[in-house]
Amino acid sequence: MKRFFISLLVIGSKSFSQHEIPLCKTTEDIAFNERSSFQRTILVARSSASSNFQVSYYRCIWDIDPAVRVVKGNITSHFTTNTTTNTISYDLSDQLTVDSVYYHDSKTSFSRPGTDLLQINFPVSINAGQKDSVTVFYQGIPPYSGFGTFNQTTHNGVPVIWTLSEPYGAKDWWPCRNGLDDKADSIDMIISCPDAYRASSNGMLVNETDNGTIRTAFYKHRYPIASYLVAFGVTNYKVLNHSVQLGNINLPMITYCYPESETSFQLNTPKVLQALSLYHQYFGAYPFINEKYGHTQFSWGGGMEHQTNSFIITPEENLMAHELAHQWFGDKVTCGSWQDIWLNEGFATYLSYFYFEKIDPAGHLNRLKNLSNSTTSAPDGSVWVNDTANINRIFSGRLSYNKGAYVLHMLRWVLGDTLFFRGIRQYLSDPKLAYGFARTDDLKRNLEQVSGKDFSEFFKDWFTGQGYPAYTVKWTQNNNSWARITISQVTSHASVSFFEMPLALNFKNATQEKTVVVNSSTNNEIFWENIGFKADTVIIDPEYWVLSRNNISVKENAITTMVNDIKLYPIPATTGITIRIRNPSGNDFQLRVYNTAGQLLSTKQVTTSGRDEEIQFNFSQLPRGVYLLRLEAGDFHLTRRIVLK
């Protein structure tokens, strides 16, 4: 669920480059409204439905008059029992009246034994694993608080009713299993209303009939769906038909908008078609490709990613890109716990940035800079939600949305585009997850399988850990333009001692530049890189791949003598040893071998190229023991101990 504030500011910035497309619905706006919606349900029982059955199919028949805030209908659910039982229980608000329950064409008894609970009592026991069905007839005025789950208002003087159920509001207006543990395999919705109006819902419109008084729409959806993603809207909608070619499929894009908004939706719908093509290309086939994608206009402050049919207030580009992304991340694969809400919201946030990266590359770095500044505006906070009773924490725009998006951006940096997109596609198609529920470990497992990398440390630092690094890069160059680079970092929160990340450094002067990438794995680590020219400036992470803040680049005095390192291996040695000299300054040097009594045993003259040198020394003529290796280059001297065995 997404909120639109009137302000047109992007995250952390009041201005853009002339090429940048404003993200008018900011992440903070989106998070605020989801938080506001969640407020109304967090204090009530999330789901009281019994765990002794799983729903496979719902057939929903509703009579709706948008001028009257009442729901009336009957719901047939097909289910499979997990245990032998003679009762099952659905979630249903106590404010709704159950008129009757039918089982095998006969009335059966029911009770309301607890808060927002409907218990159905069968005349016989149903065996474990048995498939069966039941029909509930009900009606009433759904509960209303805050934004509500069953909403009645007007647009341009015309009444409208629409539903919005995330995360546990479906029970306010229909009997269902209300938790994040069950998806129906399919659903049919038959919605009748006065013929001045028409209904919009999930899936495909099979037929629409009008007897002169009542218009009835029959929608069919044949993909697994969570109860909170079931929705309808009823008013005098104008229907707009578009389509987009996705591979061999011409996907219908169907819009139900208010008549007064027709021009705006006609003008802006091509933008979401562009996003559909992009997401389909990079993240795998549109998840509901045998049906449709659509928009339904409603009168709330943003949008909601109802499956196959996002409800939006206005066709604003960032909002449309965000809600569309949820069809993959949130609808096809749904977070299995609010601790992992970033699997819904972090992904949707990042995909909207990815969309703008492709259509407006000139503004991409400025948008990433704003995203980074927003995320690092406080020193603490993890993507992992440690308190699922705290709505501000669950729907934190800075953490669940922005930092979640940046974690994905950094995974893309570590893996490279080919492996990153392959890993995300495998995650979405994983048989254990596709059209079901996922946790963060499921994403990690798929990325590791595709890449062969171990992401345990990455997720420990960036998912459960808090904060971010501040880098200090000290650098200098020798006469051959090789740069000696020392990298240190201070973390903003004690939960992470060091963030291990590849770091890009851009060396520049007035006419030349070169970017090198070093794998920063320990504090005060030293790297040598051949720059190829004399630089006067180093920019840390110029393309904002790593989440960081307050970075400092320090140029030290130029190297005039050999001050770098010598590595010898193997130690202890047998018949020979390899001597690796890191980036000498360009001076010729001598290698001398002494015994412990100080007697010179061997000498070797080396002419350097200004790059790393590897020299093979043969000691087969020497007996086992301890020796001293001395390197001399001008005024520079370095001695190392060698053991021969």
Q: How confident is the model at residue 342 (pLDDT cuts 50, 70, 90)?
A: very high
pLDDT higher than threshold 60 for residue 251: yes
Q: How confident is the model at residue 5 (pLDDT cuts 50, 70, 90)?
A: very low
pLDDT tens track for 429-482: 999 999 999 999 999 999 999 999 999 999 999 999 999 999 999 999 887 788
pLDDT of residue 36: 53
Q: Which residues contact 30 (CB under 8 A, 6 or more apart)?
A: 1, 2, 3, 302, 319, 322, 345, 349, 397, 401
pLDDT higher than threshold 80 for residue 146: no
pLDDT higher than threshold 60 for residue 583: no
pLDDT of residue 593: 86
pLDDT of residue 34: 55
pLDDT of residue 199: 98
pLDDT of residue 587: 59
Q: Would residue 146 be called left, alpha or beta, if left means φ above 0 and alpha means ψ between -120 and 50 degrees?
A: left
Distance CA 598, CA 231 (A): 88
pLDDT tens track for 395-422: 899 999 999 999 999 999 999 999 999 9
pLDDT higher than threshold 70 for residue 99: yes
Q: How confident is the model at residue 30 (pLDDT cuts 50, 70, 90)?
A: low
pLDDT tens track for 103-127: 999 999 999 998 899 999 999 999 9
pLDDT of residue 3: 40
pLDDT higher than threshold 80 for residue 6: no
Q: How confident is the model at residue 17 (pLDDT cuts 50, 70, 90)?
A: very low
Would you give the distance in Å from CA 472 to the centre of its chain? 29
Q: How confident is the model at residue 44 (pLDDT cuts 50, 70, 90)?
A: very low
Of the listed ranges 37-51, 150-164, 510-524, 573-587, the one predicted with least confidence: 37-51
pLDDT tens track for 601-642: 888 887 765 555 677 777 777 888 888 888 877 666 778 788
pLDDT of residue 35: 55
Tell me the average pLDDT across 193-211.
97
pLDDT tens track for 290-328: 999 999 999 887 899 999 999 999 999 999 999 999 999
What does pTM read for this prediction?
Answer: 0.84
Helix residue ranges per DSSP H, 435-533 = 440-451, 456-459
- Domains, the chain, in order of start with CATH, read 2-42+342-464 (1.10.390.10), 469-555 (2.60.40.1840), 566-644 (2.60.40.1930)
pLDDT higher than threshold 60 for residue 43: no
Distance CA 313, CA 296 (A): 8
Q: Which residues contact 130 (CB under 8 A, 6 or more apart)?
A: 80, 81
pLDDT higher than threshold 80 for residue 580: no
Q: How confident is the model at residue 7 (pLDDT cuts 50, 70, 90)?
A: very low
Computed over every residue of the chain, the mean pLDDT equals: 89
Matching residue, tokens 């400092």: 552
Of the listed ranges 34-38, 46-50, 336-340, 491-495, the one predicted with least confidence: 34-38
Q: How confident is the model at residue 282 (pLDDT cuts 50, 70, 90)?
A: very high
% of the chain with per-residue pLDDT over 90:
71
pLDDT of residue 284: 97
Q: Is 629 helix (H, G, I), strand (E, B) or coil?
A: strand
Tell me the average pLDDT across 159-165.
95
pLDDT of residue 12: 34
Residue among 590, 639, 632 at smallest CA distance from 615: 590
117-126 and 85-91 beta bridge pairing: antiparallel
Q: How confident is the model at residue 33 (pLDDT cuts 50, 70, 90)?
A: low
More confident call, 388 vs 222: 222
pLDDT tens track for 532-552: 999 999 999 999 999 999 999
Q: How many beta carbons lie within 10 A of that of residue 380, not counting itself?
A: 12
Distance CA 621, CA 619 (A): 5
Q: Is 596 helix (H, G, I), strand (E, B) or coil?
A: coil
Residue type, 579: I
